Structure 1
Amino acid sequence: MNDEVHHMANPPARDQALKKWKEFLLDPKYNFKYIVGDSGTCYVGNDYFTDVIYRFSLRQSIEERFVKTIDYVAEDISHTKDEKLQKIYDNHIQNKALKYRLIKPLTILVTKDIAACKRLTGDLIDFLARRENISKDAAANKVLIVTSANEHKNNMPKLKDVDDKNSLIEWITSVSMLSEGWDVQNVCQIVPHEERAFNSKLLIAQVLGRGLRIPPEYKGEQPTVTVFNHDSWSSSIRGLVNEVLEIEKRMYSYPIRKDKDYNFELYNIDYKKSEELVETPQIKEYVFSKGFISLSSRAVMEEKTTTYERAITEEQWVKKTPIEYKMHSAEEVALDILNKFKAFDLEEGTAYSKKYPYENILRIIKNSLQRISEDGDLVHEQSRQNILQGFGVIGRKTAKSLRYKVEAENLYAIGTKNINRDSLGIGALRREHSIFFDDYSLKEGDEEDRKLLEELLEDETLHVYSLQRIENAFTFKTPVNVVFASYKPERDFIKRLISEENAKFIDAWIKSPDTGFYSIEYSWRKGEHPKQGSFNPDFFIKVTNDILVIEIKQDRDISPENKAKLKHTKEHFKRVNSLQSEQRYYFKFISPESYDLFFQRLREGKYQDFASTIEADLDKE
């Protein structure tokens, strides 16, 4: 009998003890007839164990009130680290002063690794010292960092006492792989600090497991644990949380057998990356001829809203938090700028501190404040950053920076037969997603998916666009059982793909999953910072030996990132075309306003040089 058996499937790379234990279990000389394990987190990453004989799910536990219920962030805009900490702190104080006064509520902050945990712990201690007007030592006594680092090993025994009202600890910082064996019951808020700390079912199950136990003081009641995640993760976290809680069923998309084979092959390239030093020419000095810097109006305190969602019921509610902003004197900001100029002058041999003496800098700052009716001498933290940036545009000598150079190495083929399974949580159909299907979808593929599709067909509460049935299977020229559309532009494009007037000009097509099929890397600059990313184009359409590669966007979705996607992807397919002659690839950015013209050109056989409105706009310098 094995407790915490998920460790057998997810062994840490350096844990020799676990490896030896696994060797012992599998040793033929012992010939164990049965090995039975138990675990609260039966996952390998996102995959549930295949040999579970009994499951009492978190959903059952919540519904039967054995554990706390869960609220998590659905919508929130926190512009700064301090603003986010203020919202987390406000939740903590509300738990402490209003909701759960019988206990000492705890907040756990979870990070992706030890380095991030140490940084967050330092930031939290600084924040608490400022917010509560206490010393850093006093603030540090309220925070317990728990990691596997040697410097923190003495903190683990302290966990057994953190629920005690006499303990000073109110905040726990830890890494994502929280260890078993500590039975903390007073957790009322969990903060996954980065997405990586909360982006798999295993991690979610482990983290929630630390926060769902009900304290003895609230037996018979059902307290709530708040998960303060970043709102941009809410859709993915919602799906993962729902699956962990056994709330959401999922439909899967994958190739199936059809009378006509719509599978086809595509060519992609393996790239070799190398680094190169690039010299950036000197930036021309900015002259403050207008005598001010444009600032936006700011307040010392603003009420900011956060929308929370209740797990299982999906009920949403809004909380308002008063956010205080740090203010600086105009004199302090002017002195900061002057000191930066002096340091730069010493380093580069320039004379900015003479050209912009303290009095001139202060006058520019005060002029800037007066323009937004800020008559006092106090500068909002964000305005301070804007002012520093305004004065930061100064001449520098040629700078050197590292850039990545890519070279095409190997051309290789990938087939749609081998496309990864894609999945859609059924709850998404109640938002904007759709499932396209035909008679093959109801006859072929896994029994669970066929049954689920039949259940959905009987669900009268779904939107009219949620299920899109294709009556003529011969116009649904894709090798998969079902196709998912995540929003209206995709749905409208697919409708045109499967219309009889267009389908007869198409041999086959596939809609890519978001990851793992045909990935293209690109890079762009976000402000002053270089960014790298990758994406799967939305559609591959086969017309004889031509492959039309389509990326769908909203109308007028013009951004530096989309410009980079267009540039790098065109270059990629130009290379693909040069390395083989079996197929010809044409990459198109398309938005709804150009759909009709695109399909007209497709029917006319004149799609090769077609450029949509959005592509033309993205191509502009």
Structure 2
Amino acid sequence: MALHPDFPNSPHAILDPEIRWFPADEALRDTSMDKLMPPLVASLRKKVKEFRGSGYVGASDTSKSLLNWWFKEPHLQMQADGTDTQFRYFFAQREALETVIYLYDVVGAKDKFDLMRFDSRGAVSAQMFDESWRRYVIKMATGSGKTKVMSLALAWSFYHKLYEPDSELSRNFLVIAPNIIVLDRIYKDFQGLRIFFEDPVLPDNGFDGRNWRDDFQLTLHKQDEVNVTHPVGNIFLTNIHRVYAGEDIPPSPDDDNTMDYFLGKRPTGGTTDSKVDLGMIVRDIDELMVLNDEAHHIHDARLAWFQSIQDIHNRLLQKGGALSLQLDVTATPKHNNGAIFVQTVADYPLVEAISQNVVKHPVLPDAASRAKLSERQSSKYTEKYADYIDLGVIEWRKAYEEHQKLDKKAILFVMTDDTKNCDDVAEYLEGRYPDLKDAVLVIHTKNNGEISEAASGKAKEELEKLRQQSNEIDSLASPYKAIVSVLMLKEGWDVRNVTTIVGLRAYSAKSNILPEQTLGRGLRKMYPGGVEEYVSVVGTDAFMDFVESIQAEGVELEHKAMGEGTKPKTPLVVEVDNSNEKKDIEALDIEIPVLTPRVYREYKNLGDLDAGAMTFQPVIYQTFSEEEQREIVFKDITTGEVTHTTILDTAGVADYRSVIGYFAQTVMKELRLVSGYDVLYGKIKAFIQDALFSQAVDLESPNTLRNLSELAATKTVIETFKKAINDLTVRDKGDAEIRDTIKLRQTRPFVVKDQGYLMPKKSVFNRVIGDSHFELRFASFLEDCSDVVSYAKNYLAVHFKLDYVNADGDISNYYPDFFVKLSDGRIVVVETKGQEDLDVPLKTQRLRQWCEDINATQSDVTYDFVYVDQEGFEKYAPKSFADVLTGFREYKD
């Protein structure tokens, strides 16, 4: 049941259906398959792979544009330090949207009978579907970005309805959250439509000839806070407990108070005052899409939640419409018996998310550690489970100490069985452990794990305070370090800093709680990127047996020694080794001057571009058949992957303006130009028309458009203009001056991927992490050099980089590998390389120039450089750093 050996580590890698996780144990096929694998997913994955590989043939123009924008266009985002990084959606998020669009656009799947065509095992029947409307379920592991999927699906529906004449989708949305915690989280992302503009959800105006951002007009309504509503363009965000079908006379828009009209009358009787009938929301709305977050609630036709959505659908039917789509997203789309919803169309299981470091790795005590624990003979709850609580606190303390170095707060999460014992544990933690005094937050939940909202449980003001405290517990400003909860927080409590879970009870099928949900509260990661993170899980034997049952889902649980004297299971932290008494940090420190940038871009008017002065090889103009002319595709100039499809108007004639716009946008993005689109557009238009081909061409001709989709033409246009713009704008100032100094001993702690490292004696850092085996070998060599006083790896956290002009003529940044301080006082910057690339001589030349600039600016310390290639290092085996300076002084072509 292990993952395929070729399963990639990157969550961005495209996953072939043949290497996806599958419960390979045949003994499970007949007894547990319905609880492990969604029956429609295997077939759909293969179909969606074909759909993706075809360049989305069969999708509407709007869908193609959005898929290409989201998943094929480069998206740069500004970081806090002023640098740019590329934003990419996870493949799981991409596959979810591709599947939904494939089912809607290509298959036209409107109901259960259309979905049943993808049943690969013949085990699905119509009776397994309760709904009569279009409903798709997306299964994604906790922490893998379900909210992003919801935002993409919402934008797709909006634009599809706006731009496609026969669209059955919607520009009104009912977004349902299971509880107030999830509601707050979604509202934080959706408030002011933030997620749509901060993530690359909305294409740039002009992309494929549409004004996407200008056309995206939506108003967010939260719970009872209803603004002025329009027939279209509404997002109604509400708690699931307010979605109840009413039985009284429906409100009217003519009422003095129209609140009940838009959000439904407040029910009376057995429900609480917080619940509102939202079925009436559709009485004056002709189109609606429902999005359910944490949607495993909507599984039983007998429940009020399901009946309310059915009521919404029926009301739309009465007006000649229908519910356009119900899209459910959840980590656990399962019935009470554990069977997966048959409507599940995409699946990113927890085992894959853990493997790709999208979520934390669960770690359990090994057998020896568990053998030391026992339930004591006592009627007092905390005395009975003292061993388990104490071990949890020990593990939490170790994690807390490590994460504190990074200005992060580790959270302890304890699950009990009732409110009395919950309060007992909180009192025990605060009384026994000084570091938890006044730092324990108690959350009482109902029997099914949901946070209690009933007025009888807590006053409204107290609930609001609890809500805020639980949402802000990650913050260093929050006084809380531990949470004690009855049962567990079943879903939505998406705090990232839980490092230790302590379970003091067993769960049964009666509680309707799954092991994925138990672990889910501690799976969200604290740090960005692919750094391995861990959540330690301890508890009673019955609790641990329950947690370990998740191994049937393919999850491999790591076991380690726990308790006093054992090492913490945390990400690798690299920090200045101040606690090492054997090191003189001041003597080992290395100071690196920071110079003003030497290379810069002079933003001249792009009108100075001269096509006559550009050097390029003209492209042969080919003649294509009428059928070939209709398939206008663009391919990535390096990978050959289809990246863009032109927009055809209703007459079937390609619009050359969108093609030229695509070229102009690509050039501007790759060179990070912030203005000048209109000028560049005109230059590229004239270049294509008069110079690109061996003859002048008619831009209106479909044959010209087909020629432009050829890789040779695409590459020539983009590369020629990039080179010309770089030649026009990239300049060397000719000098530089010192603006700051980096002292290595002032570097803040940071986390790195779990990989090979060296414990150095001659470095201010506690670890030398090797990005390659050769770097570790070279670090070990420096340790043994008698003429080396100290050295350090140039980590990103050091913030030392050099600007240079790369092989493509672009301004780029370069991070040398090592700093070395020699016994004669010199400081040498070292570049090591296992495999050479085109930029190596350019980087080395820039490094030489930097040393010359530094030495010309000051005379206190001499700075030097050396390039060390792996092949030469292994061949000549230097014995000292002087040998390195002698034998590897220059870069050799």
Q: Give TM-score scaled by structure 2 length.
A: 0.25
More strand by percentage = 1
